[in-house]
Amino acid sequence: MLVDDVSQLLLPISVYLVVLLLLVCVRAFRHRETRLGRWRYGALALFLWSYCFSTPAVANLLVSTIEGPYAQIPEPSAGGSPLIVVLSSGFAFKEGTSYKAQLGAAGWERTFAGIRLWKRVGGQLLFVGAPTPDGKFSLAVHMASVARTAGVPEDAIQVETKSRNTYENLLFTRELIARHQGQAWLVTSAVHMRRAMAVARKLALPLRPYPCDHRGHPLLHWYAWLPNGSGPARFAEAFHELLGLQLYKLKGYAS
């Protein structure tokens, strides 16, 4: 919304860095004989760098590209006894002497997508990963609790509580998925699906993608081309996935 974008101007965010670099560029090109003028092309490069990485429209283009192969949610059909693998997302925090796990926005989206898919096709829901540092709780347990509250029966829910990242999510459940008779679905955020499916291929797991939490949306308003605080956040998410995928390939975790 326009109000949300305008309200960000009240925050000390990257838009002011962009404006500052623009003013430096103008001064450098107007006074080429000065020391600053000799660095005018460097200042221009810094301005373009800060503008691109602070602009929602540019960041949205990158996110949409990553999500591209999984932009559409498939239409599953009921039948057999499907296995629905839902990858966790969230964070842990210390409260007193113990830790608690809290679902993030992506975690809630994945949980509800898994429940929604289960209500269409039935079968088993398998929530995986993200133990707290003390090992006493995990996001998978939290997600399973939400599923029970939503009406999924106890005998249709399984949890895996030891895996700490995407690779371990699928590695630690590899045998269970491999021996399952019937369709096996993988539920995660669309921007994360590319890396998750690369791991699934490496482990030779016959998982079908069921993306959710799509972040790339058409930005038709003109002010999407103005820098604001959401631009760097979107880029950070996109770079996390791109760098994560390359790192996984170097380690032999993904294909």
pLDDT tens readout for residues 202-242: 999 999 999 999 988 776 677 778 887 778 888 889 999 99
Residue 194 and residue 109 share a domain:
yes
> Smallest Cα–Cα separation from 234: which of 15, 52, 12?
52
Q: Does residue 117 sit within a domain?
A: yes
pLDDT digits (tens, 9 = 90+) for 142-164: 999 999 999 999 999 999 999 99
Do 83 and 195 reside in the same domain of the chain? yes
**Cβ neighbours of residue 157 closer than 8 Å, sequence gap 6 or more:** 124, 125, 127, 144, 147, 148
Do 24 and 134 fall within a single domain?
no
Both 84 and 207 in a single domain?
yes
Contact call for residues 206 and 170 (beta carbons, < 8 A): no
pLDDT value at residue 219:
65
- Whole-number average pLDDT of the chain: 89
143 with 79, same domain: the answer is yes
Q: What is the DSSP letter of 85?
A: E
Return the pLDDT at 192: 96
Q: Residue 92 is part of which domain span?
A: 75-212
| Same domain? 107 vs 173 | yes
218 domain residue, yes or no: no
Q: Give the pLDDT score at 181.
A: 87
Q: How many domains does the chain have?
A: 2
